[in-house]
Structure 1
């Protein structure tokens, strides 16, 4: 794992050599030597990480090399701030004295650097096996069980199939769907892909389909091939020929072993062109493998190909290219999980009543994954049912069992296969997830910012670090290593979770690499060097401060109580800390020790009781994220503008009113006039335009125009007189992706009619809250817009005319945005709109959907449109509409829709899958499904 650290170190060392022209003689050569040594260490660790190392001697060596790499990183982190602290001020007497002081301090630091590097080199050369680790291939010589390969996994996979069970659990519905796709449809080759996380039963399901009598009868020839890793096309084709010929009872072509790629393809084509066939390729793990398989398949045969894969992009690509289908495996339902659990744990018998409660808790941790249920239930079947404490211990110590119990070896292997298949940067990001509590819902942007602050994200040309990090996250999701419980209405990933059981295995790997330490109270096992500390509900029994002198990050989860001395000591010891996340802590101030952490990049006091940000914040000049959302801070000190590396500034608080949408639902902050100097800012939420308190000065909105790197801008308390300056600033914000503007009062007009020529052309999300004389003309030219939200706009003219031609618009909200009585969605308009909200349009009487309008609409929400007594005219044309949600609508309309008799309103919604109605009465919501 430390190869990730080493890649970072090489970059830092290169920078050190290129920028530092005043190093003492000999130090630069030592640093250069150390860089070469790091290259050799990296080669060794990359090779070791690519394999499942089981040899005890090699494990020790890997740990030693990793420790040296971490310590090298520590040395650099201690020295770099001293280099950047040299005096660059005007030459005055006090400045000269201060410059001399800093020069002497830097001399001392460079002497220290030379000494530290020499010490590290001595440690490296003294490592046992040093000569061998320069040659990573020699790892395989350490023992017969050292290499981790697909054949080992294949053996494991074969032992956990339960398809021989005459009544497999949770198989029948997906089985029938796959059989239908196989035997029906047009002629030609089509691909059916079955995708899902490891252990969910893809292979078992496809085996059931493959062996079904209907499939056997429909296809003349069949072949099942498990794709080896690494993938070799020629070997796959040879295996395919042998299996196909065996099924046809034909002789395998002579000389097949010596036949080259093109010859093998011709022979396979000759065999497959003769009859209908079904081919299964189990465990496809990359696009290159699919491209190889596709190149073998004849184009004019009425046949089918089935793939199993953990990777969503492979499934979608393969099926799209052959006009096939994708079946996404879902976890077993609770009832199915319980049935399977009892069959394995109690040999098909019933669960004793006294074991039900602990069995259900164990089952919950399996997250509906059949492999996990079968493996853990099989282990429980060997335990004494009369000793409840054994079952309780397994629930409590499941992570320990996963680490060392041979009965769960297959579960470990399946996870290891997914883990070792990752590139090194994703391994590091995955193991970092061990810092979050079990079943924790992780916000997307929080995770991306943490990864960046920790240094896990490597820069790429023409991409922000946030874009690179989002790519990392999408890869982990695509590989089904993360679960996505929540997406935004327009389909963006909003939160993610680690599958419960995989979380245990991640924690095991993370502890093995001494990456994350979780403080759970008195039972915590403390390593000698704590690097990333997660506090889960308890700060009791912290060890002495020497354990924390290499600390990188502290994250607190849960209500831990008041700030106390052990935490202060921890912060004082951890001079290398880069991340502090105190979300939800009941503190009214930031600990003073925080402002001495010169490496700090990420500081979150979200949802604390913080009321004021002290001037000391200016000392944290490496800070990149300052998250004060949900606090009581309403003004930032002038010193905030010293934070020239700040990328994300979040200072706001929501006012939640149940059952009512308030105009003043968010409170922002007053910024100093010099805020325009924060040139690295990418997100700014929520800055107040009227920071002078009642005046029409446009200083603040003009300063916003200096923040040319902004991707997201939320600005509140905007006055009519700010319009010209605000539009001028928006013209400069060419990187803007999300814009949220709110007027100071519900009757203060947002004057945004000033033209924009090139600014904001990449804008994807636009939120305008406040009266508009008309929809700004420049909105119609924003071809990248995906979401538009107009609130309290009070428009006299139909806003749809300005928005209907937007080519990418997928979501539209109109809340008190229109005073007229008629809305018309014209034919050909809103070609990609999927979600429509019409809220509190109290003058609205008619909504018309012309045939050919909004053809992709999937969800429609009506709320508090009091005078609407019937559904939109033409709603029957919306064939893709799956949800109609009616809130606080006239009772007569609801009664009509529930009338299924001839002439009743039900006929209008018969084609819609789900129709829900609800009302807010007496302080609570009540509702029911109409259909």
Structure 2
């Protein structure tokens, strides 16, 4: 990964301000020299990488030295840039002196930086000398392509097929059979349906499709999906199930013990028909472990079910209740070709292929070689869709490995990985940092990638847009599994990677010195697991406790999951800190010194206080503290950071900065701001908050939740936020009316109030880009949606409405597909205008018992093919 390291370093250095100033004198020339040397080194790496992978240990050491030198050069250059940034931000008399004179402290810093650059220059010179001795040649071949730009159609989303439907190819009959077993009304006892097959055979894909089917959703009153995997804790699974079936605050559930959680689940499910999915079960006693202290899952003889997926037949047969075991068959030749061709030769590409028949002939032979394994077919097909060259296809066929299954899958993954551009290789290997079966929110992943400098700056596209296309590229290649898409934006919202690919990423990342994943439960106890020749700059720790994390001093990225009473070491060059579900010690004494930090994410952590020195982190792009209860007030110095792009704060002591400070806020690039707080007991100043929010005029995402109520004045700030795309606001008390104009760019709007007095539809229906609307609290008697209103709306939720008359003119909401009515007690019959909605195919009625099953509009919608789901409140 040295080539990727140099690429990201060069991309980052090009954005620094160090070249724009005369303050740094001769340091500028040295920085320019280092950049040129790094570019020259990069041109040697393709030749070196082939030798390294062939087992040449000397070359492997040489490649590692290049990466080390690149990072050391970046640290030195950034230290110079930091000195300049710090002085530019100083105020008053000392600020003026530092900007135009040479303070002793600055001269000392410059001398230190200059000496470090000289040391790196000598190291790079020695590396060039080594290249000659190792006979590593300069490679001046093609310039690496960046996966962005005009090669893609403008409507990128519609050119892709439905990933989920493609991945279900070949399982149609089995899908119907398993759904039938689950909803069988004659079998009323609690029973298990087990799907058994080897890794990569499509168990989870099939189970997910069954779980989300309309028949299953309608049949069961409560459902939950948990992934068990090889390392699990019964209490964690039970808490996850409880959150899904009952809701509830994470903080309250976290404090409950296993008995309390099991009892709550039992009592809730006792009178309900439920479905629990246990995905990827490895141990025979898993069911016993999660159902032992309290029989959390009662048999009320009402047809409740457990759906279980496993690689082991003895696991399926061990469960002590009626069990139906479904052995998943491999795909036959016909279905193998259907899946393979949907990936390798998608319809939008076939028209550009001159000799499709030749590709079909080769493709059928390649599909047969995959031995009916969907994962192998999908990944190979995704790789070949990017290499539509008959000779390439033929070469793969002739080089096919003799062994099957595990070895075959590794060869396919390695080939697909090698085909990726370097920046995408880094993005793929980064999945090694997450726990097995972890569901990844793409927005969080993208923030990590950007902080790591994996995403290059490209003309006419933001970094986030480029990264979104990288995710789509990986999905096209079947290297990630799409879990959910955003209806508002069309992009991929949540993903997972197959555990076979996850294991491969961990091994490859460790061998490359890219990242060490250290998991106490897997028997890894230290940070020495990477190759002897390579020092890792990134670490991921899982389930460690009562120790200082064993990371090397030069570590750039540190991720942690489920850490207990853990302290951070002194990490001078840290750029990424991402920790979840953990308890930290002495956090505030360490974090203020991490001046290179780009991303700080502490989710559901304890022992966290932000020091005032947080304002010294002048490169910080993302701070995410959702779910973490801070032990101190959020320092006002946070807003002195000029590079902030995303700020997410929750359950924190937050007071807006005073007006004098608000008007000179530094984060001009702030795109996302989410604040969830309870102002009770804090020094909350409404007027100051309005001034503070009014300065954030570049926001695209704004989320504000307050208890007991948001001040109604918040709605006035939208006049100064022309770029907003996503808005979430709750809970207002009384809103006389909505503001006359919302930002015209809004695509998703969530707004909740106890009372909205005036019909909100005449205002909201004029928003030209609105795709998703969730609205709570309108108490007027009538509501009207005009013809041509809501031109792009696809999803609408109306909650706690007191509307008695809902008029809907023909031509309104032409694209609405999903409609949810929840707790709207005055709506006793559905408006006939719903029949004029051409795209409506999904209607949910939640706690709407006043609407009769004989409702004329309801039955007419069903007759037209609209899926109708009804939910009643739990007893």
CA distance in 2 between partners of 1:875 and 1:859 (Å): 11
Q: Does 1:882 align with 2:841?
A: yes
Which residue of 446, 471, 490 corresponds with 1:473? 471
Which residue of 847, 858, 882 corresponds with 2:817? 858
Local SS of the residue matching 1:886 = strand
Q: Does 1:809 align with 2:808?
A: no
Aligned match of 1:99: 103
Q: Does 1:735 align with 2:723?
A: yes
Aligned match of 1:349: none
Aligned match of 1:800: 761
CA distance in 2 between partners of 1:689 and 1:682 (Å): 23
Alpha-carbon displacement from aligned partner over 1:108-144 (angstroms, at most 9, x marks no partner)? 4312321332133113312465544214679xxxxxx
CA distance in 1 between partners of 2:832 and 2:787 (Å): 13
Which residue of 290, 293, 306 corresponds with 2:353? 293
State the TM-score, normalizing by the size of structure 2: 0.64
Which residue of 864, 868, 872 corresponds with 1:919? 872
Alpha-carbon displacement from aligned partner over 1:499-531 (angstroms, at most 9, x marks no partner)? 222212222221221111011125345236231
- Retained in 2: the 8 A contact 1:669–1:687? no
Aligned match of 2:749: 788
State the TM-score, normalizing by the size of structure 1: 0.61
Which residue of 695, 704, 719 corresponds with 2:693? 704
CA distance in 1 between partners of 2:548 and 2:756 (Å): 60
CA distance in 1 between partners of 2:342 and 2:775 (Å): 49
CA distance in 2 between partners of 1:308 and 1:693 (Å): 71
Q: Does 1:208 align with 2:334?
A: yes
State the Cα distance separating 1:851 from its structure 2 match: 4.5
CA distance in 1 between partners of 2:512 and 2:33 (Å): 26
Aligned match of 2:628: 631
Residues 827, 911 of structure 1: alpha-carbon distance in 2 compared, 3 angstrom cutoff: same
Which residue of 419, 425, 428 corresponds with 2:426? 428
State the Cα distance separating 1:283 from its structure 2 match: 3.1
Alpha-carbon displacement from aligned partner over 1:521-561 (angstroms, at most 9, x marks no partner)? 25345236231110111258879x7x602211111112x21
- Retained in 2: the 8 A contact 1:589–1:612? no
State the Cα distance separating 1:77 from its structure 2 match: 0.4
- Retained in 2: the 8 A contact 1:696–1:722? no
Q: Does 1:39 align with 2:39?
A: yes
Give 5+ residue unaligned stretches, structure 2.
143-168, 176-198, 206-329, 364-368, 381-400
| 1:551-570 pair list within 5 angstroms | 551-558=555-562, 560-563=563-566, 567-568=567-568
State the Cα distance separating 1:63 from its structure 2 match: 5.0
Give 5+ residue unaligned stretches, structure 1.
139-167, 175-196, 213-225, 227-279, 298-303, 311-339, 345-365, 375-402, 654-666, 748-770, 898-902, 923-931
| 1:405-554 pair list within 5 angstroms | 408-490=406-488, 491-521=490-520, 522-524=523-525, 525-527=528-530, 529-539=535-545, 548-554=552-558
Aligned match of 2:315: none
Residues 637, 796 of structure 1: alpha-carbon distance in 2 compared, 3 angstrom cutoff: closer
CA distance in 2 between partners of 1:883 and 1:688 (Å): 34
Aligned match of 2:741: 778
Alpha-carbon displacement from aligned partner over 1:413-441 (angstroms, at most 9, x marks no partner)? 32233222222211111111111111101
State the Cα distance separating 1:485 from its structure 2 match: 1.0
Residues 132, 591 of structure 1: alpha-carbon distance in 2 compared, 3 angstrom cutoff: same
State the Cα distance separating 1:686 from its structure 2 match: 1.7
- Retained in 2: the 8 A contact 1:606–1:631? yes
State the Cα distance separating 1:738 from its structure 2 match: 2.7
CA distance in 1 between partners of 2:813 and 2:96 (Å): 73
CA distance in 2 between partners of 1:210 and 1:694 (Å): 64
- Retained in 1: the 8 A contact 2:727–2:749? no
Aligned match of 1:133: 137
State the Cα distance separating 1:722 from its structure 2 match: 7.9
| 1:104-115 pair list within 5 angstroms | 104-115=108-119
CA distance in 1 between partners of 2:603 and 2:10 (Å): 35
CA distance in 1 between partners of 2:795 and 2:119 (Å): 64
State the Cα distance separating 1:79 from its structure 2 match: 5.3
Residues 38, 693 of structure 1: alpha-carbon distance in 2 compared, 3 angstrom cutoff: closer
CA distance in 1 between partners of 2:619 and 2:410 (Å): 40
Residues 488, 126 of structure 1: alpha-carbon distance in 2 compared, 3 angstrom cutoff: closer
CA distance in 2 between partners of 1:210 and 1:583 (Å): 40
| 1:45-56 pair list within 5 angstroms | 45-46=45-46, 55-56=54-55
Alpha-carbon displacement from aligned partner over 1:771-793 (angstroms, at most 9, x marks no partner)? 1x3332224xx543333334227
Alpha-carbon displacement from aligned partner over 1:359-381 (angstroms, at most 9, x marks no partner)? xxxxxxx8x6365999xxxxxxx
Alpha-carbon displacement from aligned partner over 1:633-681 (angstroms, at most 9, x marks no partner)? 484223223322222221124xxxxxxxxxxxxx883222224413332
Aligned match of 1:837: 797
Q: If you compute each CA radius of gyration, which structure gives the higher value, 1 or 2?
A: 1
| 1:304-323 pair list within 5 angstroms | none
State the Cα distance separating 1:44 from its structure 2 match: 3.1
**Equivalent residue pairs, number:** 656
Local SS of the residue matching 2:778 = coil
State the Cα distance separating 1:828 from its structure 2 match: 4.2
Aligned match of 2:863: 910
- Retained in 1: the 8 A contact 2:556–2:576? yes
| 1:46-195 pair list within 5 angstroms | 46=46, 55-57=54-56, 60-62=58-60, 64-78=62-76, 80-82=78-80, 84-85=82-83, 88=87, 90=93, 99-127=103-131, 130-135=134-139, 170=171
Residues 541, 739 of structure 1: alpha-carbon distance in 2 compared, 3 angstrom cutoff: closer
